[in-house]
Amino acid sequence: MKDERTKNNQSSRRDFISQAGMLTAAVAVSSAFRPSVAHASVNTTDKKELSGKTAFITGAARGIGLATAEVMAQNGANIVIYDIATAEIPHVKYAMSSEEDLKRAKLGIEKLGGKCLAVKGDVRNRSELDQAMQKAVKMFGSLDIVVCNAGVTQAGDIEQFTSEEISTVYDINVAGVIKTTQAAAPIMKKQKSGRIIFISSGLGRVGNPLFPIYTSTKWAVIGFAKSAALSYARYNITCNTVSPGLVNTKLVDNKYILNAMSPNNPTLEAVDKVMQNINPFPMGMYQPEEIARAVMLFASNVTAKVTGEVFDISSGATANNIG
């Protein structure tokens, strides 16, 4: 039985690797978009595209959230970074961000010339979200962009997850996204404008045996985002999704996840090399900044009349998908 379980685990990991082009994702931000984004971000005397706008970003003390905050600050936005900033969450097996991460993130954004409000809060708590968004409006005058980025991951076989572990990842990845949207929508409806951008995953487009619960939450994010797009279009609120694959962040770069993905050599370098070998586009993991530029696209004038869409960032792996 032990040998059979070992074989099954090895098979699951092989299945994961075979699909990892999806996970390796994070946006193949097309080179056609990069010059315009870079031009809008730096070295311009023109009014910046997001000048006077306020962006509220969850899970923004580090990783994709922080990179998004920095890109939007460079483009003139006032920034609200909202993060749990608590190193340990029960039933999550790797370290979260810290209060020091949140402080550093704020200072970094201000060094870029952006105004920044840092809020320690939990996306599972609707009251905290409401208070933070009201504070943002009071301080900056509006709530124009909301990025639902906060999330956690898990790895393992389906049967091994406890009820508490399942509830935790769903409460953060799915209910947290819904509550963030619920808090933002009344403000944006009153303004008759807004952009809500959801961060899903390459695993929100396929199945995966190594991340089965996480994968299901990221499918749910896309389904909710499309429903929100239909609900809020008449209020001039767009709702779009960015679905990255594997990105070089602390969600991946920790002992728990690296051991699950590459048990024989649990290092970020080993995982990155695997990705280089299997991705249709010959590259390893994306960097958070690359995903942030894709998020910025959905906050820009280019997509003012685009809603309900999903931007897959997958090094070409989504070319294997149907539809």
Catalytic residues: 214
Question: In sequence order, what DSSP letters do the residues of 79-127 get, joined into one string?
Answer: EEEEE---S--TT--S----HHHHHHHHHHHHHTT--EEEEE--TT-HH
Q: Enumerate residues 6+ apart whose C-beta is below 8 A from 320.
A: 21
56: closest CA among 9, 124, 118, 138?
118
Tell me the β-bridge partners of 147.
57, 197
Task: Measure the CA angle with vertex 176, ends 228 and 294; round to 5°.
Answer: 65
Place of tokens 């961000």: 97
CA geometry: angle 245, 98, 155, nearest 5 deg: 40
Q: Measure Cα distances from 321 to 13, 79, 145, 195 in Å.
A: 20, 36, 30, 28
125 CB-near residues (< 8 Å, 6+ apart):
179
Of the candidates 85, 89, 86, 84, the residue with the CA atom closest to the CA atom of residue 129: 84
Strands (E), the chain: 54-58, 78-83, 116-120, 145-148, 194-199, 237-244, 310-313
Which residue, 70, 214, 223, 90, is CA-closest to 152?
A: 214
